[in-house]
Structure 1
Amino acid sequence: MKKLLTLLLLSPLAFAEDISEYQRITPKELKIQDNLERTILDYSTSDELGMNQMLAPVGWTEPIVSLEFELRGIVIAGVLGLEFKEETAKFNVNEGFVIPKNTKVRIHNAGNVPLHLVEILRPGYKESLVKEYESFE
């Protein structure tokens, strides 16, 4: 777990803002409607780095997407499913994951309890950086 937290925190430090004193960040709450509604708590303070919590109900899935940003995260509760063209990977509580930039993936709740993730995005999220697809072809 210590290695995972170090991995998540070190690479984003390359994009750290010049901050001279501590900051308290109040997240923006976003409701996103896929097949079911999920909640994103966005703690991002710059375009270079995104920091989110995601809460998704049982049965939630995104469409197939390609992200023009790297996505790293940790599963806090539930089971994360990442479906690729050739395989589906599952990640349990306290396991980390990386989705490389420009990888086609369907992200979903693969468990029977709500899914809770902490995510780091590099660069930060913009709708224009997400492309949706009908299939993996």
Structure 2
Amino acid sequence: MSKKKKYTIQNSPFIVPTDDGKIIKEHFGKASDGNSEISIAHMVAPPGWSEPFQTPEFDEYTFILKGKKQFIIEDETITLEAGQSIKVEKNTRLQYSNPFDEPCEYIAICLPAFSIEAVNRENE
């Protein structure tokens, strides 16, 4: 009788289609393995990239691997650099951007998992 493996190695993350030059590779989450409890994505935001303001229905953790990323959280502007991380609590209005001249590579973890329905992006 074979024993069920108690781990999953993700070798082929779901590549989220974008039209803004951002690379999103979801390793675990709704799009990749159907998990609605957590999503983990590896992202690269190109120089000059930004998203509309949003008020997500999930906590989001961001860990910066390379470059810098700007966060406008309610009325405060914060810049994180490589090696820094942040947790933004759900139902907080914020905007993510990379107004800098180099790509920003980071890991994003959402609890519960990211979904386009729960991110609540404002009109661009």
Regarding TM over 0.5, the answer is yes
Q: 1:112 Cα shift?
A: 1.6
Q: How many residues align?
A: 115
Alignment match, 1:30: 16
- RMSD of aligned Cα (Å): 1.7
Fraction of identical pairs, as percent:
21
2:87 to 82, 93, 98: 98
Larger helix percent: 1
Go from structure 1 to structure 2 and tell me whether the alpha carbon gap of 1:85 and 1:125 turns closer, same or farther (over 3 Å shift): closer
Q: How high is the TM-score relative to the length of structure 2?
A: 0.84
* Runs of 5+ unmatched residues, structure 1: 1-18
Name the CA distance, whole Å, in 1 between partners of 2:41 and 2:99. Answer: 20
CA contact 2:74–2:92 (8 Å) conserved in 1? no
Q: Deviations over 1:65-100 (max 9, x none)?
A: 111111002100110100133220000000001111
Name the SS for the 2:50 alignment partner.
Answer: coil
Name the SS for the 2:41 alignment partner.
Answer: strand
* Runs of 5+ unmatched residues, structure 2: none
